[in-house]
Copies of this chain bind each other. A is one copy, B any other.
Amino acid sequence: MAPAADRARCMNPDLERLHPYPFERLAALRAGVRPPRELDPIVLSVGEPRHPTPAFLAEAVIEHLHGLASYPATRGGAALREAIAAWLTRRFGLPPGTLDPERHVLPVNGTREALFALAQALVDRSRRPLVMMPNPFYQIYEGAALLAGAEPRYLPTTAETGWLPDLDAVPEGDWARCQLVYVCSPGNPTGRVAPPEWWARLLALAERHGFVVASDECYSEIYLDEARPPTGLLAAAHAAGREGFEGCLVLNSLSKRSNAPGLRSGLVAGDARLIAAFLRYRTYHGCAMPPPTQAASVAAWRDEAHVRENRARYRAAFEAVVPLLAEVLEDVRAPEGGFYLWPRTPVPDTEFARGLYASQNVTVLPGSFLSRPAGGADPGAGRVRIALVAPVEDCVEAARRIRDYVRGL
């Protein structure tokens, strides 16, 4: 047995700063509750797409299994970087040639690892750094900030701010210490797409105070109006005259877009200087993408037909569910992007989620598990996140049960 001294010394104290994961809190909330056996469980708490993965992705993996015999390069093959650059250029209306596959793009194994790693790579912990994020937020932003030695700052993101992170809530002194701002657009869980004027304001602040903007756009391809695809940070940076996307990084993924969360494939793109630093970090960090995954990713980024089909499935779910839930809950609105509803609950959100599970065997996520109390208010409290990821008939069944539950409150 190692002496007690060990145990203390060889442990990074930053690990103690991490908060419990939302799904750990959900498991604790559900512990000991026995939902009615006669009702099949319907889980709408996890943002995991459940539509089928397109067959051509699997075929591309199969065709490239000979790639298991080679070490992949951290920066990925040229074909993948080109497919990513071409997709971003087309999708976000960038002038051709703006985004150089050699300098502005890197493949990553999903946005989670990249969101985390970029804070570790870029933050200078010797300068009392702050990292800003929306509130409520995807838990990785906070964990990345804490483990990078930064203090997280939570920007209220509520109905009062039109579901945009409240840039006015930040004291000037905090902006001066800010090194990184995470944005999520379309927002998880709010569904809000940051509009050009909000981006312009954030980029002006970034220019004044010298921080990096990292935009998590993993929900950008899930939207209900085919005529209105969400804009994103690359277009905003270009509009603001940042021709080299200075200080800007976007992250996106095939998990939601192509229903391939088990593929672990995503992208980071933007400022060539930040990309070069991140690549340097990543050669040690060691998350090169397996060659067959690269081949499947090339095929996926090049195709839009399957993405349109995917959106049609979500549209059907929202069209069926929203009217049912709107009968009993406030703020039930189809999102601008993403697959979440974010309604108000008539009782506290944890009580609502627990009661719904206990009586109807439907699992949703309490909003307060996604947020931190700040400035006297908890912006996630009093809402639940409902992920419309199940087959449409299950979504409808869940909506009926939620309706029954609320009517019985």
Chain A residues close to B by CB (< 8 Å): 1-3, 5-13, 15, 18, 21, 46, 48-50, 52-53, 57-58, 61-62, 65-72, 109-110, 112-117, 120-127, 139-140, 143-144, 147, 149, 179-180, 206-208, 210-212, 242, 246-247, 255, 259-264, 273-274, 277, 280-281, 283-288, 290-293
Q: Is the CB of B61 within 8 A of A285?
A: no
Q: Which residues of B contact A288 (CB under 8 A)?
A: 264
Q: Is the CB of B109 within 8 A of A287?
A: yes
Chain A to chain B: the 10 pairs with minimum beta-carbon distance, closest first = A6-B210, A112-B286, A113-B286, A143-B284, A58-B65, A68-B262, A71-B261, A53-B68, A5-B210, A2-B246
- 14 pairs of residues in contact across A and B, judged by CB atoms under 8 Å: A2-B246, A5-B210, A6-B246, A7-B273, A9-B179, A12-B277, A13-B126, A15-B281, A50-B69, A53-B69, A70-B261, A71-B262, A120-B120, A139-B284
Q: Which residues of B contact A18 (CB under 8 A)?
A: 280, 284
Q: Is the CB of B112 within 8 A of A262?
A: no
Q: State the majority secondary structure of interface residues on A.
A: helix
Q: Is the CB of A210 within 8 A of B9?
A: yes
Whether A70 touches B48, Cβ cut-off 8 Å, given contacts A6-B210, A124-B9, A263-B290, is: yes
Whether A10 touches B212, Cβ cut-off 8 Å, given contacts A62-B62, A109-B109, is: yes
- The 8 Å CB contact of A211, one of B10, B15, B115, is B10
- The 8 Å CB contact of A12, one of B50, B121, B247, is B121
Knowing that A10-B210, A10-B274, A114-B286 touch, tell me 18 more A-B residue pairs with CB under 8 angstroms.
Answer: A1-B207, A3-B208, A3-B210, A8-B210, A10-B212, A11-B122, A11-B277, A12-B125, A18-B284, A49-B69, A61-B68, A61-B292, A68-B262, A70-B262, A112-B286, A113-B287, A262-B290, A264-B288
Copies in the complex: 2
Q: Which residues of B contact A10 (CB under 8 A)?
A: 122, 124, 179-180, 210-212, 247, 274
Q: Which residues of B contact A116 (CB under 8 A)?
A: 284-286
A203 nearest CB neighbor, chain B only? B2
A180 nearest CB neighbor, chain B only? B10
| Max chain B Cβ within 10 angstroms of own Cβ: one of A69, A180, A210 | A69
Q: Is the CB of A71 within 8 A of B58?
A: no
A184: min CB distance to chain B, Å:
16
Whether A242 touches B70, Cβ cut-off 8 Å, given contacts A290-B262, A290-B293, is: no
A24: min CB distance to chain B, Å:
10
A222: min CB distance to chain B, Å:
16
A244 nearest CB neighbor, chain B only? B1
Q: Which residues of B contact A1 (CB under 8 A)?
A: 207, 242, 246
A21 nearest CB neighbor, chain B only? B283
